[in-house]
Structure 1
Amino acid sequence: MDELERQWSALAGDSPAATAAGADLLVRWAEPHRRYHATGHLTAILAAVDELLASGEPADPDAVRFAAWFHDAVYDGKPGQDEAASARLAREVLTALGRPAALVDEVERLVLLTAGHDPAPGDANGAVLCDADLAVLAGSPAEYGAYAAAVRDDYAHVPDADFAAGRAAVLAGLLDRPALFRTETGRARWETAARHNLGTELVLLRASAS
């Protein structure tokens, strides 16, 4: 059993149905068309969730971890549609596994939230999940460069000019926020580096378009 299989089993149990669901998720995350939104990202977001929870951030561990597993389970490079399809899959699978309706509802909500990474004030679960998903923005310059290149590969079907315009709009929108990260831990550990990386990429995108 590899590490991701172990983590899924610890979260979902080791019944035949849970094991089959985990295997299906891992197949999805390993689809050949994925570059950034692949098993490496799943591993990273789960680690970031663990880091935030270990630091004392208040959240429902099961809801956030299930949402991390499902948030990019469907990935076709169609923002908004991918999250909606992933949320539907989460509801279908968790309901079939007999999870409580309240948990299913919360996981579905959290998966949908990753389309915009803008949890409301007081949304502890949303803050932890979104911060974990955005933690990649605070990598070293080399790590961030690899991330940005992988994201471009994930959108290889989008023409360069369209991608640059869309990506620049996303980056500018993030930088306009008072804070990228909603947890105290996320702001303390990741905010400064993430803003530097986003700003650098935005300058490069705008220069390439001029």
Structure 2
Amino acid sequence: MDTGAPHTDTSDPADTTALRARWRATVTAAGASGDPAPYADRLLTAWAEPQRRYHTTAHLADVLARTDVLAPYADDPAAVELAAWFHDAVYRPDRSENEERSAALAERALPELGIDPARTAEVARLVRLTVTHDPAPGDANGEVLCDADLAVLAGDTAAYAAYAAAVRAEYGFVPDDAFRAGRAAVLRQLLDLPRLFRTPYGAAHWEAPARANLSAELAGLTEHP
């Protein structure tokens, strides 16, 4: 399920210097033995592709910041951070296999960096989980990544409006009627989840505002003449 979740500012002002430093620290913590710099270049180039309006380096920075907040709930914070880096590394708004291709990219890149097979497999699993954002009970790593990715839904009114506008811009090639129908279906899928947020922090701080935002957007879409 593509929630259309990345950032709202099409100028994408994310601090790539900070992101490069973060990447180095993350892969070092994960046990990398190879030079991380070329992979940072490739990933940041991918996240800055021109077709992106929400799924940008700013979204990446936002998700990483949320993983910091939620790190105490993860079984393997390094794997979660790596999954955040890869979860939308391949992104074409007109394609449905983005998560699978992003997971496959992680499966190729991480062994080249010297990341062990078990952690590589966990990162790929987590990336694939962002198709549904519906981790199984007890999947602590999945709960953290999915909550971090969906936290954008809990923004204040202005932030959520900017997010929704960025999603629409990303799908600018889709006619209005088709976009409203598709977006309404995504919103209903999210609202039908028993819980949007699975970590204690997410449930306490993000669940209620996210549901209010989703419901308001859905009402606006379905009431449109």
Same fold (TM over 0.5): yes
**Post-superposition shift, 1:149?**
0.6
**1:20 equivalent in structure 2:** 38
1:29 to 47, 60, 65: 47
**2:107 equivalent in structure 1:** 91
Q: Aligned runs of 1:130-141 on 2, under 5 Å?
A: 130-141=146-157
RMSD: 1.5
1:8 to 20, 23, 27: 23
Structure 2 counterpart of 1:37, one-letter code: H
Q: Is the 8 A contact 2:33 2:114 kept in 1?
A: no
Which moves more between the two structures, 177-186 or 127-136? Answer: 177-186
Distance 1:118 1:80, change over 3 A: farther
What per-residue deviation string (whole Å, max 9, x for no partner) do you get for residues 45-99 of structure 1? 000000011xx31331111000000000001014640101100101110011111
Q: Is the 8 A contact 2:74 2:141 kept in 1?
A: yes
Q: Is the 8 A contact 2:110 2:120 kept in 1?
A: yes
Instruction: Name the structure with the higher helix share.
Output: 1
Q: Is the 8 A contact 1:86 1:111 kept in 2?
A: yes
Q: Is the 8 A contact 1:64 1:110 kept in 2?
A: yes
**Post-superposition shift, 1:32?**
1.4
Structure 2 counterpart of 1:154, one-letter code: E
Which SS does the other structure have where 1:199 is aligned?
helix
2:191 to 151, 175, 180: 175
What per-residue deviation string (whole Å, max 9, x for no partner) do you get for residues 83-121 of structure 1? 011001011100111110001101111001101101111
**Post-superposition shift, 1:202?**
0.3
Q: Is the 8 A contact 1:36 1:154 kept in 2?
A: yes
| In 2, Cα distance between equivalents of 1:80 and 1:91 | 19
Unpaired runs of 5+ residues, structure 1, are none
**1:192 equivalent in structure 2:** 208
2:79 is aligned with 1:48 = no
| In 1, Cα distance between equivalents of 2:113 and 2:222 | 48
| In 2, Cα distance between equivalents of 1:80 and 1:107 | 20
Distance 1:79 1:186, change over 3 A: farther
Matched-pair identity in %: 54
**Structure 1 residue runs of 4 or more that deviate by more than 4 Å after TM superposition:** none
**2:179 equivalent in structure 1:** 163
Higher RCO (Cα < 8 Å, 6 or more apart): 2
